[in-house]
Structure 1
Amino acid sequence: MANFFVAVLLSLFTAFVPLQAQVVLSEIMFDALGSDTHDEFVEIINLSESVSIDLSGWQISDGEGTDSIVEFNEGVIIQPGQFGLILDLSYFDNSDTYDALIPEESLVMTIDNTTFGNRGFSNSTAETVSLINSDGEIVSQYTYVLGNDQGFSDEKIDLEGLNSPDNWADTKSSFGTPGAPNSVSLLNFDLAVLPDDINFFPEPVQAGQTLIITSTVRNVGKNSVDQFKLIFFEDFNGNLLADSGEELAPAFEFSATLLPMDSTSFSLQTSNVSPGEHLIFAKIKFESDQDTTNNIASEQFFVGFPARTAVINEIMYSPLSNQPEWIEILNLSFWPINLSKWSVSDSDTGKRVKFGSHSNLAPNGFFVLAEDSSILDFFNPPFGSVSVSRKLPSFNNDFDSVVLYDPSDVIMDRVDYNKDWGGDSGISLEKINPVLASNDSTNWSSSVSIPGGTPGERNSIFTQTLPAEAGLSIAPNPFSPDNDGEKDFTIISYEVPITTASVNIKIYDLRGRLVRFLANNQASGSTNSIVWDGHDDTGRLSRIGIYVVFLQALNAEAGLLSTQKKTVVLAANL
């Protein structure tokens, strides 16, 4: 009989000790978003599946002070699987921060002091929080880790695991999860992809190269997973989302077995990668996932721009007094360029101005950065081709520089101009051929456009290659200006072997009489066209007959370049 009582006592003792240890710390709010005096809390949980535990005489300590756990209005007996929430005594009269977050099934308690420990938990020194039973034994203990954002608690990951730092993490929820399952707790089914799990090779990558994108998927749940999908996206539209239609390839399908705490990787190869910033997403599709907040991650990489991908193409450095300064950029590549992180400076390269958002440059397209929007009062650039920055450098009217930088601060183009290159009051400085050297003075001259510049459009003096000699053509020829809608006008086209010229075009009848002075010392590039409507200088329609078109091209430096003659027939429909 004595042996029987000894056996019973041993059985009760061995059963009693684990029950005490099954109440553990599960969450600590040490840096509350509200008042540290009222809004700190400690959460515990009874891990037992069948036994309730009376917390009478239990205490909480921060190493400097100890407080007794006391009832609020529901007693201090914690049921199997139940969360217990211990709030500051002063919370109930001074705060309602957690009222809407606390589940009805949790046990709300407080302490016999206005704050935890010695004037509350420290936000500057990590403290060890201990849960002490009625026998004075520490049954659960955790030293919290500083660095949380304010209002984000420390939560235990595996509630049955150790209280080591790697088994605790910052809550995913502002205000924490008081009295509720922890946001970082292990779920039965939970796959995750993290930003650090997305990698690129090679790195750095150059424009046009083949890039390999790799993403790791982790099983952070309790159960094995045997089927899911992973999809790679690129943020083509710039809205920072992985939208339908932005998939880089069909979904990868996993149909093996991924054990808990194990991982697997997927790789995608993409060719001819374009320069600029790229935002890549990896997204998991798993129907049984109990936490979809960690099913998508993104990572950014940058591809360097080849030299002279974009160039300075036009500069308005000497506008009229009521006009703004501006510069024009030309994209020489077949890739679209987002200029938002590109910048420009004058000769003071330490002061740079970014183009700003919505600065998109299409392949072979033009983009203008202007001092203010009044540029639209004097020019008619294509819609969406102008961005305004009041911080645009003030370019000197004699010697200065325009420097263009890509997002990695590499100089993409530079022009060191002076007034002898061209440009004047209200007339821009235009590049003749954008492919040729930017710092070659012979590749620049004054705009010959009537408004004084061509912002957002091809330069008025653009020349692919200069013609070997002057030429003159007329079409249609003959023409019949009788307003019947057919051949009412003729176009006189010419080319001269120099980038800029002053052109005279005169029309004579066969007796040598001047009928029309069509172009009088008109500024021109190497090619141009002009329309004759068949009328003379008085506005009267000329008679039917043969007329002589006389072209004279002059240049201030070269003098008389060329004269050309060609006949045109003014006819009438039969």
Structure 2
Amino acid sequence: MVIRPARLVALFAVLAALGGDVRAAVEVNEVLANEPNSQTTLEWVELYNSGENSANLGLCQLTVGGSSVPLSGSMDPGSYLIICRQLFGSGSTPGFETVWGNNSGVWGDTSTESYPQPMVASFSLNNGAGSVTLIQAGVDTSTISWSEAGKDGYSWERVQPGLNEIKQSVDYSGSTPGFVNSVTPLQNDLSIDNVAVARISSGAEIDLTITNMGINSGVDRKLLICAMNPVMPDSIGEILDSLTLPVLYSGFSTDIVRPVAISGVYRYLIATLDADDRVRNNRKPFVAPGVNFPPLILSELMTKPQLPLTSEWIELYNPLTIAFLYQGWQLADLSDTVSISASQFIVDAGYYAVLVEDSNAFRQFYPEFQGPVIQPARWLTLNNDGDVIRLIDPYGIEADSFSYTKSYDSNYTWARVPGGKTGEWGRSVVSGGTPGGVNDVIIEPNDQRVSLTISPHVFSPDGDGYQDVTVITLEAPQASNYTLKIYDRDGRVVRTLAGSAELVRRTYEWDGRDDSGRRLPIGIYICYLEAAGVESVKKSVVIAR
């Protein structure tokens, strides 16, 4: 832009008449043209007064494409003014305060709303190319232009006041309304760019990406991970972890990975750096899983329904000791992600819910099922030849996953072993599986040797409720068939738990009775497991009274 001397004199004269000052330098500072998720009500323009004095906007206007937006009021030195299409949300239509405030419907009640209330005006910004120009007393004084859409939800920012260089925002949120532009270099500026969480046995593993956006190296900078009150997001509670960061040079990033002990199922946390020249990017709130996570797991999958069953289904299980309310959960495989339910649903402690492709077909085949039956708006097809099924919570944390390489015929399901090793799955014992009930599972052996464990070794099946059964736990290699039998001390078979079985269960219970159901006398018995043609193992077990 070139301002000829005559126009410059005219501008100074008008500014003087308005009570302004040449040291009041208002500029178009930031423009969000490519609004988030095509919500055009979220378009906005930011002005910034980089001067030393207040600026009167009485004879100022914006030109946006072919539209003219008159301005009014004044701007204090160092202040921002947002001109937006809609300030507050209305029904399903979001407004500026919905996204860049706290969605309370009131302006100024949180730290993110610390600048003057935005002005509402009628205009439209072109995503792909356009410009916004500030006209003061008939003179074009400041313009931001763009020639591409850029990333969805990211604004165009002026690099420095008084310069024409424009860049797309690099802020983690995509824009910086009311704050120093993210592309403006500052002396000391560390940014928490990203926080990723994964569950571990003690709570969460927290992975933070921190970038030095400033001119100076970051030396002796402190990082805290604290509890946060979701009702008061500006507050900091109990400090769960703290550390001094390694030296971070200008323009470089580092990943900080910290295990943090967290109680409960979830906890609202905040990662915070000691304050520097850009406080906005020194904090990042997030939700992390606790020791009781996950509140929902995969339990059983019908991946290949065959007549008369015509619906695929996935059983979910609540492993907590309390009922839990679920909303915003998703299912995903290698190529797709679907929402489980648009509404909330509750599963009692230790109970099940079933996701179904066709609820009518499921209920017809399983008329005795008790519990929530949920038919998602769009079904995640379960591939017959294998897939990876992931259960994702509302915060994007993977609650559970299961990978399978084949499907079973005759309506047998993939089922998780109850109380077994984490993620241990096998084939259902019965055709149709056990939706709504405890899984009865056969494991396809893949161990290298036979092993057999009996607990308790001495048991007393006298009906008093104490050690009335013994549990036999197996590990077995691939074999053509398997036998598991109990012999008395004379070598006679008294109980056959598995005879020429194609597959074996992981665990068996023996109640001290023979194949006819008669109670056996006290004494020493031999438990014998044979994987045909591979290996065998035997161990003693004692019936006492």
- Interval of TM-score (by shorter of Structure 1 and Structure 2): 0.3 to 0.5
| Rg larger in structure | 1
Q: Under a length normalisation based on structure 1, what TM-score does the superposition of the two structures give?
A: 0.39
TM-score under structure 2 normalisation?
0.41
